[in-house]
Every structure is written in C-alpha cells, then in structure tokens.
Chains A and B, each alone.
Chain A
Amino acid sequence: MFGIVRRRIGFGASHASILDRCLHGIRPALSTSRCYSTAGKEMTVREALNSALDEEMSADPKVFLMGEEVGEYQGAYKISKGLLEKYGPERVLDTPITEAGFTGIGVGAAYYGLRPVIEFMTFNFSMQAIDHIINSAAKSNYMSAGQISVPIVFRGPNGAAAGVGAQHSQCYAAWYASCPGLKVLAPYSSEDSRGLLKAAIRDPDPVVFLENELLYGESFPVSAEVLDSSFSLPIGKAKIEREGKDVTITAFSKMVGYALKAAEILAKEGISAEVINLRSIRPLDKPTINASVRKTNRLVTVEEGFPQHGVGAEICTSVVTESFGYLDAPVERIAGADVPMPYAANLERMAVPQVEDIVQAAKRACYRSVPIAAAA
C-alpha cells in the first residue's frame, strides 16, 4: 500500500486519480497531503520553521530574532529551539512583554539595514504594535519614495487554537492583507513553512507571516529539494493542492487540510473538487484562482476568520469582476462564525468551519440538494 503512496506526484497532483485510489486504502488518520512527495523524510511544521530560521540566520549575519521567550525558553511554541545556543544573545533576543516597544525597535533596526524577525506570541498581541507594523513599516518605503526600505518579518501563530477563548483566537489575515506595503503569507504544510519563511526573510519588504499553532505538530513529507538550504517558494503564488474539475475550493493555513478532507468526501459523491492552497494572502494569486474558476465554474472560499470584510470577500470580488461570465453558481463563502470565539467546546466547534461545512457549501455550489439545517 505504501509503495503506491510513494510514487512522486509532485506539485499540483496531476495524478488525482491515483490519489483517489491510494486514499481508499489508507487509515483515516493520515491527511491527504502526505501523498504527493517522494517519501523518506517527514518533517513537522515546527521543525520546518526552526530549520528555516536557522539556515537564514546562518546565511546572513544581519538576520536576528526578537520576541518574548524566543531565547532561553527556546520559544513559547519551541519554534526557536536551539537558536540562542547556536547564535548567541546578540542575535536571539528575549524581550520584555512590551509589543509596541520591541516592534518599534525592530522596525527601527530594519530602517538601518538589519533584517529582524519579530515574533509575536500570537498575532492577537500584534494589535498592541499594529501602528508600527502599518505606519512605521508598511508605509515607509512609499512615503520616503524608496529611501527607507524595511526588510522585516513579523511572525507568529494566528487564528484559533483550542479552547483559548475570544481574546486569543482572532485571525488577522484580512486586517494585514488590506494594507498596501505589506506582504502577508500563510503557510500550510512543512514545505510551505520552510519555503515561505525563507522567502519572507530574504524579501526586502515587511512581511507578515501567519502561522497556526495547531499545525506546528503536524508532520508532512518533504523532498530533498525542500530540505536544501537554498530552497524557497515564490511569494504571490498559490498552490493547487488537488486538481479537480467541478468546483474550486480556496483555503489557507489550517483550512487547507480541512478542504482536502472535504475534497475526499466530495469525490465519493462524484464531485471533483480543486483545492487551492493560497499560501500568499497579499499579494493574492488572483490569476490562479480565476483560471481555476474558469475551469470549474464554481467557487467556495474557506477561511477561519470573521466573515465580514474577510479574505473570501476579496476572492469573491476578484472572481465576480474578472470571471463573472464563467460562474455557474453564486460564490459560496465558509468562514468563522460572526461571534467572539466562545470557550465551551461545543460552541467553539460551531464557531470554526468544519469539514462538513465545506462539503455542504460545495454541494450547494453544484446545485446538489442538501438538507437545510434547522435555524437556531
């Protein structure tokens, strides 16, 4: 069974049918994303981020890491494990709990030509420093007509974790992605994490790098190419995780895994879903999304964050403006519930998109009848 799984399918899964056949035999616990690279090495997202940081710090002495508990504690989520020991306290800096202060210091260092990586313990705390991210970092190159460039990366976990409540669960993708001057990336797999973080650190502009706490421990296969220290992924390019022809499902971060699971379920019902892993929220890969919709004629956007003014709204607008004639059904949007995140486990489950929600939306887009849920 694993012999079939190991066949190199590469980017874009052109052998979707092989994928289907593989998956029937596999334990449900395995996620579909494990089936497309040459086997051998697997790597957790945590290891991917750690190795990316390590390699970029090694390659460029101007790169340094700053944030709460990144040094002696080895990182609040152990992403920066071992880095203090390897690079010393001048390049791995533990800060006091003062986001506005240390983010401003990071941006100032970037003005001077260093390449800071600023870690927020979660992006919820980035709101305390958002003035520096937007007004001091994002806009400076423009306001100075190119004199002051800001090669900085702001990274950390974004979105919902498990049971952490309203103040620790918000997704900031839409907030940051609306701002010209910023680049916003959201990795899903280990390959994404390595490639996009390396690209972000090497990029001369401010990059907001949205990780996900629940993905840190997940393992994904990585090819030799991904493991190479010069590996990086292009910014602004989405990845077609699974090819399909009936409906396009866009997602980013954790929701990519859910979308892939939904695609499996839909496949059993005869609906072939194309799953796009956005990877880059700003710039958004509108050409790839539109090309896909022009092929499938139906779109479901998936995100974890609040629905109003979210990422899905922007994707919908792009498709309606560029590919209206190709749409055979209204765009469906799956997003987090329009409520502050509740704590109780049953309410929390209702507040975040589940695989069933994506399946239902895809079926609606395909005009398949779906029993309507009772209104609350």
Chain B
Amino acid sequence: MVLTRAAKASRSKLLRPLTTSLSSTSSSLRRPFSSTTDDQTVLSIETSIPFTGHKVDPPSRIVETTPKELMGFFCDMALMRRMEIAADSLYKAKLIRGFCHLYDGQEAVAVGMEAAITKKDAIITAYRDHCTFLARGGNLLEVFSELMGRTTGCSKGKGGSMHFYKKEQGFFGGHGIVGAQVPLGCGLAFAQKFNKEGTVTFASYGDGAANQGQLFEALNIAALWDLPAILVCENNHYGMGTAEWRAAKSPSYYKRGDYVPGLKVDGMDVLAVKQACKFAKEYALKNGPLILEMDTYRYHGHSMSDPGSTYRTRDEISGVRQERDPIERVRKLILSHELASEKELKDIEKNVRKEVDDAIAKAKESPMPDPSEMFTNIYVKGYGVEAFGPDKKEMRAVLP
C-alpha cells in the first residue's frame, strides 16, 4: 500500500481545517480510486465528541475504519442527500403528493447504522424513511416510483412516502403513526429471540415520539423479557414545530429508559454512529434493550408543507450545515487522509446527481398501477369474497 501514513494503528486527529499543502499534494502519492477498494488498511479515527453513557460504560471514541468504508460512506450519504433534494423539487412540481418527510442532514444515522449490522438484523422506523430504505438495499427507481405513485415503486405505488418496505433485507417500514413503530420493533426483536437467530432490531423514533406511552410499555416488556431491541432516538430537536424543551420535561432521551441503559451519540458523525450501533448490537444480544440517542438535525422542515423556519432561525440551520454537516465531515476526513482528491469527490457527486436524474426520468415514464390493483393485497387469502368501490353496482371485484 502506497500510503505509509495510513499504516495500521496510526491515529489521526480529525477536523483540523485543511492546510493548503494537503490539497496540493502531488498525485504521485496516490492512485485514483484505489481507496474505494482498499478494505485492508485500518484507519483509527477519533469521534468528534466522546459518548455519554447512562447506566452503561460507553465504548471507545476511537473508531476503526478502512478507506473503502469511508469512501462508501461518502458515496452513500451523497446519494441520499441528492435523492432528498430531488424529492423536494418533485414535490414542488406536484409529482409527489400528500406527505413527504425528508431526511437530509440525518444521513449519517442511516449510513452508520448500516455499517455496523447485517441484513439479517432488522430496522424499523417512522415516516422519514427514504434514506433508511436506500441503506437497506432499496434502489432509486423504487424510491422515486413509489413517491410518484407508480407501479414500479417498492410498494407498487400503494403505500407512498411513509410506507417503504424491504422485508427480505430486514427493513420493516415505513410507519405513519408516531411511536407505533417502537412496539412493532420490540415485536421483531421478540421474534428474533424466539427463533434464536442471534440478530437484533433497531427501532428508530424521533424526539417527538419519545414521549409516547406505548414506547415505555414496549420498553418495559423488552427489558422484562430481555429482547434484543435497540431503541434509536433520532433527536433532531424538533417534533414537527415543537422544540424538544417544550415537549419533554427531560430531553435527555438516552436517560429516559430509566432502568434501561442508554448512550448519547453525535448523530452527525457517521463513525460515532457506527461505533455506537456496533456496541449496541453486542450489548443487546447479551443484556436486552438499550437506548441510543442520536444527536442529529434535519435541514428541511418536518415535511414539505413545513418551511422549517417559523420555529427555528435560519442562522441555526446554516450554522449546523457549516459546523456539523455529516457529508462535509467525511469529505474532510477523506481529504486529510488523502484517500481521494477534491476533484474525485466532486466527480462522485456529479455521478450521484446523474444517477438520481436518470432514476427520476425512468420513474416518470413508469405507469400508474392498474385499476385492478386497487383490490389486490387486502388479504393474503380473500376466499373469493366481493369487494366494492364507491358504487357497488359499478365497481366490484372478487378477492382472490
């Protein structure tokens, strides 16, 4: 390997502003894109801030990663970012209807979690699910088609933005009722334990959902029965338009489990997220539930009908973008470790843009569901019973 500076067990202090000498380093030290395949060199990188534990010893803030993984983080998050921004435009063009909850700013949580687990582990989340779906193996065409209500969508156009699923890759949706996904996630963990699979479930919820009673009901049962459930509070500090301090008497969500241990994590640092999720998986398999609070931020409003600036200042939003953006953090890491040049990273972003544009074009060509699809999938087994449209004399179907 050419990069002697990236030898095993070397430590690098992160997030120093890039010196000009770095950016003009001669290319003789680097081979373009070799980093994207290098998964042997181990980089040990410190997380931005240490973890804070509640009734548990937090993991080390030194995270091991490889050039391939870091480059992968950059590509995945760039794709997610571009996808969400494109969805914004599509919504404004009225090609996406109803609800559209965007995840840009929070990409590190989806990507870091994925890096720590396998497709046999399960993830369930609420309605801000586009990026989690992508991380779990969904593709752009499925995303945009579903958003536009086309038959090539992941739910054949029958679900919409809030109801993406990919069961065979361990993604169980996609849920519209705030907080409902937490008991469901504990149920997934119950099944994993019942089957003795040695896998875990990550049930994500927001700071708004963190006050839901059913969450505590499910957590109580998960703790009683030692279920391998990890509750992930994606704390973006606003439950729709209500700031956390106005909704929660105790906004220390990682402590709200009381008898269930918790960890507070910088959710904008993909390596910290990966470390925390890795730790959580090992912990939950041995000891039962754990809470992870991901300190994160969404740039968009709650949904496309919320400008997002009536309850927070534009300075706050741009401040986070400048100081804590997850993609910028990884970009600086990559550049400081000389895993790729600025141009290479910009090319990746250009390719991502093209990928997204191509997927959108293809999705726009896709047909809407056939009218007969209205009456399919109501039941697995319909017993040949009749179902009706608004006028039963005009529209009826037999359920298979």
Contact = CB atoms under 8 A, between A and B. Distances in A.
A307 interface: no
A103 B177 CA distance: 15
A148 B167 contact: yes
Contact of B380 (A96, A103, A141, A321): A141
B213 interface: yes
B159 interface: yes
B159 A108 contact: no
Given A96-B224, A104-B218, A114-B191, A147 B385 contact: no
B187 A110 contact: yes
B240 interface: no
B184 A136 contact: yes
A148 B177 CA distance: 17
Contact of B155 (A95, A114, A144): A144
Contact of A105 (B157, B173, B221): B221
Interface in B256-290: none
B232 interface: no
A103 B180 CA distance: 10
A143 B158 contact: yes
A142 interface: yes
Contact of B194 (A114, A203, A283): A114
Given A132-B183, A144-B173, A236 B383 contact: yes
A131 interface: yes
A374 interface: no
B41 interface: no
B380 A205 contact: yes
Nearest to A110: B187
B175 interface: yes
B172 interface: yes
A170 B190 CA distance: 32
A163 interface: no
Nearest to A97: B217
A294 interface: no
B186 A104 contact: yes
Interface string A98-113: 1011111111111111
Nearest to B164: A144
Given A96-B224, A114-B191, A142-B377, A101 B183 contact: yes
Contacts of B183: 100-105, 107-108, 132
A234 B385 CA distance: 12
A108 B184 contact: yes
Nearest to A152: B187
Contact of B187 (A111, A135, A204): A111
B156 interface: yes
A181 interface: yes
A112 B122 contact: yes
Contacts of A113: 191
Interface in B163-177: 163, 165-167, 172-177
B36 interface: no
A25 B376 CA distance: 53
A145 B159 contact: yes
B220 interface: yes
A145 B188 CA distance: 20
Contact of B188 (A101, A109, A151, A234): A109
B378 interface: yes
A143 B392 contact: no
B163 to A, nearest CB: 4
A109 B377 contact: no
B379 A183 contact: yes
Contacts of B156: 145
A204 to B, nearest CB: 4
A197 to B, nearest CB: 17
B209 to A, nearest CB: 13
A64 B194 CA distance: 10
A30 B19 CA distance: 96
Nearest to B217: A101
A90 interface: yes
B377 A146 contact: yes
Contacts, number: 158
A48 interface: no
A149 interface: yes
B214 A135 contact: no
Interface residues of B, number: 52
B171 to A, nearest CB: 10
Interface in A71-129: 90, 93, 95-96, 98, 100-114
A113 B166 CA distance: 14
Interface in B218-232: 218, 220-221, 224-225
B378 A104 contact: no
B122 A100 contact: no
B16 interface: no
A105 B193 CA distance: 13
A91 B194 CA distance: 9
Given A104-B187, A143-B155, A205 B379 contact: yes
A239 to B, nearest CB: 16
A147 B51 CA distance: 37
Nearest to B124: A108
Contacts of A183: 379
A100 B184 CA distance: 10
Contacts of B214: 98, 100-101, 104
A82 to B, nearest CB: 21
Contact of A148 (B165, B217, B385): B165
Nearest to A112: B191
A271 interface: no
Contact of B383 (A100, A143, A181, A283): A283
Contacts of A96: 217, 220-221, 224
A235 interface: yes
The 7 closest A-B pairs by CB, nearest first: A108-B187, A104-B183, A101-B217, A112-B191, A98-B217, A145-B156, A108-B184
Given A111-B167, A147-B165, A283-B385, 17 more contacts: A98-B214, A101-B218, A102-B183, A105-B184, A105-B187, A105-B190, A106-B187, A108-B183, A108-B189, A108-B191, A114-B194, A132-B184, A135-B176, A136-B177, A141-B379, A143-B174, A283-B383
12 contacts: A101-B186, A104-B186, A105-B183, A108-B190, A109-B190, A111-B172, A111-B187, A114-B190, A145-B377, A146-B380, A149-B380, A181-B378
Interface of A: 64, 90, 93, 95-96, 98, 100-114, 131-132, 135-136, 140-149, 151, 180-181, 183, 203-205, 234-236, 283, 286, 321
Interface of B: 122, 124, 155-159, 163, 165-167, 172-177, 180, 182-192, 194-195, 213-214, 216-218, 220-221, 224-225, 376-381, 383, 385-387, 392-393
